[in-house]
Amino acid sequence: MGITVGIVSEIAPGERRVAMAPTALSVLSKTGAELILEAGAGDRAGFPDSEYSTKGVRLAGREEIFATADVILQVRSPGANPETGTQDLALMRPGQTVIGFGEPLTALDAARGLAERGVSFLSMELMPRITRAQSMDALSSMATISGYKAVLIAADTLPRMFPMLMTAAGTVAPARVLVIGAGVAGLQAIATARRLGAVVSGYDIRTAVKEQIESLGARFVILNVEAGGAAGSTEDKGGYAKAMGEDFYRRQREAMGSVLAEQNVVITTAAVPGKKAPILITREMVERMAPGSVVVDIAAERGGNCELTKPGETVTHNGIGILGPLNLPSTVPYHASQMYAKNIATFLKYLIGKDGQLTIDREDEIVRETLVTHRGEVVHAKVRELMGLAAPQAV
């Protein structure tokens, strides 16, 4: 007999995604798992119940799912849902496994709560960036959508068009767009802005991404403030940009000011997991931009890369619009859910053994790096360190 997997509606305010889309069900088809879906869970993402039930998914109520499922799949588990996550926490039970986003490096109280409930929590944010886990990398999937949507928001807000146009009234000059940060979100933003016809530049402290930026038809901005000029000094072992010292960011801001003054749109994407986003754009730098220009700060959820950013709001300063959008993937819930569902289903399939049961092998790198709580305690080394606890015992 296989395990029972439950998918519930997301109760975080404004969240429209669902953890499992009908298109990803085939990934789990040979695992022997029984899937139970809370009725209406996929409605806001564009997936009616009928699309699940025709594929063998049983519909049930929320409390029944929490009471019977061996595994709960979520987009926003309690740590990533500070407003209403305690409601879900109260329904979880000892021995249950929960997989989802959970902000484990910052939501330490939620991690403690999950441990106290006896829940095994696997965090999708902590998925290691290794080849074996590439198909499970939900952060990259969601960053793709964020980069795409940020450009559309900028194009909609900017009081000019992106492409160069030859018209009866003369030539319309193309918009100039600068993307700061060439991770997954930044590269997608560059590609989208180019498709819309803008003249695009990209900047990243990791000079190794120069080729990637230029391959998308954008110009790589060189500020001559790189830390040693080597990717190894600005990138952690997981492939993420490292937090640099304040002196580096100060020199970077000074060099960046003149570049920003030439742009119509600036999209910032610089974020370091578990830390406040670095301030890359100051008030003075914004004031050098032309009136009507737009800054879209994707890092708003981490505090923002712009000094003037207010998360969830649009600020106008000297005629410049500074947008701090939150949860951009949820604004494209259909494809965001499809992508996330494929990631989480692939992860779950990886955890299910040949006997159809869930296996938590803490010697496996993927499990070890994503497992936050297990058997009544916080077991993730980094989370324990942040809590001031001793390193976990060897398994």
Kindly list the catalytic residues: 129, 134, 137, 140, 240
Sheet-wide strand order for 4-7:
58-60, 34-38, 4-7, 71-76, 97-101, 120-123, 371-374, 377-378
CB count, 10 Å around CB of 25? 17
Q: How far is CA 287 from the centre of its chain?
A: 30
**Position 329, amino acid:** P
Unique residue bearing structure tokens 């032309």: 290
Q: Cα separation of 369 and 354, whole Å?
A: 22
Of 237, 345, 377, 240, the residue nearest 18 (C-alpha):
345
Residues 6+ apart with CB under 8 A from 168: none
